[in-house]
Structure 1
């Protein structure tokens, strides 16, 4: 038994952190009390915690003011009886110093219950669409060979507005445009974003297609911003992820039925429905990057829960191409998000052409310039992939740079062997080389820029300087899933 402590153990963590779970399990088994501080609940102390530890990952475990490190550091400490006893004696005999690690007031924590209590602002245009349905302005158009459900023509809308609402044509045109701007409807043939008022058809943004995971009736709430909705979904994904983490810190994905039936998933699907009308067109570049990385994780997790993990190449293809979300009125698959939006409409591995054609309205949403750092924030359903992380539009590049550094410090991202003059990189750098550089020298320079000062960087720079090295790529581990 450890005995009474004058000092304390401070344990910095975040929601859905596998290594945090492993470290906490060990401390519990040893009957050692600790104070956990979740950085996602106290975001205002993140910078100070980082400056104190100079660590890019969690957990960060302190015995009084002494930093033990992360999960692996704790495991090593426990296996050394003399060092472990010395650490325990420090907190048995000495109180926490005044300049010790921060422990914020629990009352200041962000309440998850309050955060997920989503306010629905009534939308006058949704009420208008409801009336259009009642009066059969919205109906099935076409013949038995080809029909379109939940459609209306511009001409029918203008006629209805003038007769039913007793408004003039000019006001009718404004209403038609408002239906498009509020992502309630889109032109059938995707011909621009202006309401015409002729015989052309417009489709309501609702469907019952099983491929569209957030399909269903239109949301009656006014469109939310990309920042607000992206943050809601990101937090809900992390909440779900944490519910199914084992004490060993592994993601338990065996019982998909129970996961899909849990209360957290019900809340999640309700939030995902709001994506159909989200305002993404007005988002800035940083906001788009954070939003689409977060939505990528959300769609990935949603697909994973409903369909299970992809176990071979064919199923991986279907996993990344066939499940979709309607976002701002248009469908996006995982591939569309990565290659179409985040890679600035570049052809992906195994793709014949770019995802979005020249007349595709989603091209307006795509980044104008590719962002290579997105690869360090994406989940790819493998043991080699990045775990689900926190990304915010205000600090997106700081967070992505930290993710890049942590990945390159791992053996999955980069391996340096000076004895054999070997540099081995993740296959991500081979598949998406065009995103990072134009040649091997530029690639290694990019990698060096994102590595922390230390032995690994020194070894890399030494090999780069001599030019005498062999560059190769690690075999990508496609086995399921990320659990470290």
Structure 2
């Protein structure tokens, strides 16, 4: 192959993975350019050249092929497939497509998490079910009574589970686990005889992030906590998504060596102070926390399979943030939609007028959030992460990318019909409250070609608007 295939992509993009899997399965090498890893001019070049903000965008030499959908469709056509392969028999142009120089890359901190011996000790004990509730186990709700285990037995287990662990090091780890709140005891004067019990959350606020204690020695601001969580969840997601981008191994994610670190990070949300955040910081924070919580809830509870289990999932899966419990419905409809009703809230406002969480609601509502939130269904926008510094431009990109695809807006000029995602039906209020207002809102984010086609359809007296079937199928890896 003399020619060159260039794929412009972003990290963890399912559509990008699907396109690259097709090329790889057919023995075709490609140059993968992550637009999220280079200066903005690379994405701008791709957008100017293709008219698209979504990824992947694919070139065979200087010939623009399109995105994943276009590549898959063309590959099914034998004659078109031969034409594409014919292109690769020639050497590539030097000027097109753009191949950025490594010096134009963005410095990305992709370092491994620092080793944490105490957390590893606690995670290993937990994964081996040493903390499993039982009459003679390690689990106890009261430090001064009931069930517990002697420090001598803990030290013996630690040394048995790690052959080269010396006695002094085991004692040090046990003391540090108490200092950091993972284990509780009333007297450490004699470690062998002291009775230890595992941390139990204080209070009854529900939340998946109460499994580990808040570490008072590692206090961070809410944006810092969110930044750490964003980085790690992207790492976990990209490591456990299938090569073709279709499925996520949620069970594998839970058994990852990084999962205990993730649990520790989200535990810190319990103490996060959100009231000092700017509107942009709150917007990015809650979008990210929604997407993280969906993944966390899926790992713990599995994928909801029907309307009832979906309702229970979105109303019941929650985090404790700043001392208050926030379910997925609370975040989406209470915070991000400024306390608006939806099907998920049984058409009731999530927060009462005197609910303290209402002070954090985003006012006015930014309808672009619907293309940033990922609910785990196939018709949801792909998972992304957002920063408070760039949330406005990132929401613009997410919106334009979603509307470029037929899952967002599909135009049938022959039958004078505009097909829209169900998101515009369910949340019509957020997009203006009427059919015409929704179409006007959409028009502000369409590329030139699609905008012209929509205008042509809307000029017809009897044009119709229909809503696409929402695919609630999940992306969980099949056994």
Scaled to the shorter chain, the TM-score interval is: 0.7 to 0.9
CA contact (8 A) 1:339 1:347 kept: yes
1:426 corresponding residue in structure 2: 421
1:331 corresponding residue in structure 2: 325
Partner of 2:453: helix, strand, or coil? helix
Alpha-carbon distance, 1:375 to partner: 0.9
Alignment partner of 1:452 is 2:473: no
Matches within 5 A, 1:279-290: 279-290=273-284
Q: Which runs of 5+ in 2 are unaligned?
A: 117-141, 144-199
- Give, in whole Å, the separation in 1 of the partners of 2:381 and 2:88: 35
- Give, in whole Å, the separation in 1 of the partners of 2:111 and 2:453: 49
Partner of 1:37: helix, strand, or coil? strand
Taking a change above 3 Å as real, the CA distance of residues 453 and 113 of structure 1, as seen in their structure-2 partners, is closer
Alignment partner of 1:217 is 2:245: no
CA contact (8 A) 2:386 2:394 kept: yes
- Give, in whole Å, the separation in 1 of the partners of 2:11 and 2:203: 33
**Aligned residue pairs, count:** 396
Matches within 5 A, 1:395-414: 395-414=390-409
Alignment partner of 1:234 is 2:230: yes
From 26, 30, 49, the counterpart of 1:30 = 26
CA contact (8 A) 1:320 1:333 kept: yes
Taking a change above 3 Å as real, the CA distance of residues 98 and 411 of structure 1, as seen in their structure-2 partners, is closer
CA contact (8 A) 2:4 2:91 kept: no
1:41-61 per-residue CA deviation (whole Å, 9 max, x = no partner) reads 335544444344432122222
CA contact (8 A) 1:387 1:482 kept: no
CA contact (8 A) 1:206 1:218 kept: no
Alignment partner of 1:261 is 2:255: yes
Alpha-carbon distance, 1:310 to partner: 0.4
Partner of 1:263: helix, strand, or coil? coil
1:317-341 per-residue CA deviation (whole Å, 9 max, x = no partner) reads 1111111112223211100111111
Alignment partner of 1:63 is 2:30: no
- Give, in whole Å, the separation in 1 of the partners of 2:79 and 2:462: 44
What is the TM-score of this pair, normalised by structure 2? 0.73
- Give, in whole Å, the separation in 1 of the partners of 2:310 and 2:251: 21
1:425-476 per-residue CA deviation (whole Å, 9 max, x = no partner) reads 222222211111132221221122222121x433322332344223333333
Partner of 1:102: helix, strand, or coil? coil
Alignment partner of 1:292 is 2:276: no
Alpha-carbon distance, 1:31 to partner: 2.5
Alignment partner of 1:245 is 2:241: yes
Partner of 2:311: helix, strand, or coil? helix
Partner of 2:411: helix, strand, or coil? strand
1:17 corresponding residue in structure 2: 13
Q: Which runs of 5+ in 1 are unaligned?
A: 120-148, 151-204
CA contact (8 A) 2:246 2:475 kept: no
CA contact (8 A) 1:239 1:264 kept: no
Taking a change above 3 Å as real, the CA distance of residues 260 and 106 of structure 1, as seen in their structure-2 partners, is farther
Partner of 1:339: helix, strand, or coil? helix
2:100 corresponding residue in structure 1: 103
Alpha-carbon distance, 1:32 to partner: 2.4
Matches within 5 A, 1:33-432: 33-42=29-38, 44=40, 45-79=42-76, 93-94=90-91, 96-98=93-95, 100-105=97-102, 108=105, 110-114=107-111, 116=113, 207=202, 211-215=206-210, 216-221=212-217, 223-253=219-249, 256-349=250-343, 350-432=345-427
- Give, in whole Å, the separation in 2 of the partners of 1:53 and 1:423: 23
Taking a change above 3 Å as real, the CA distance of residues 113 and 402 of structure 1, as seen in their structure-2 partners, is closer
Taking a change above 3 Å as real, the CA distance of residues 474 and 210 of structure 1, as seen in their structure-2 partners, is same
- Give, in whole Å, the separation in 1 of the partners of 2:81 and 2:417: 37
Alpha-carbon distance, 1:305 to partner: 0.8
CA contact (8 A) 1:421 1:463 kept: yes
- Give, in whole Å, the separation in 2 of the partners of 1:461 and 1:74: 28
1:254-288 per-residue CA deviation (whole Å, 9 max, x = no partner) reads xx443211123233222212222233222222222
- Give, in whole Å, the separation in 2 of the partners of 1:207 and 1:104: 53
- Give, in whole Å, the separation in 2 of the partners of 1:436 and 1:423: 16
1:436 corresponding residue in structure 2: 431
- Give, in whole Å, the separation in 1 of the partners of 2:89 and 2:414: 45
Taking a change above 3 Å as real, the CA distance of residues 224 and 50 of structure 1, as seen in their structure-2 partners, is farther
1:398-438 per-residue CA deviation (whole Å, 9 max, x = no partner) reads 22223223323333323333343333322222221111113
Q: RMSD across aligned C-alpha pairs, in angstroms?
A: 3.3
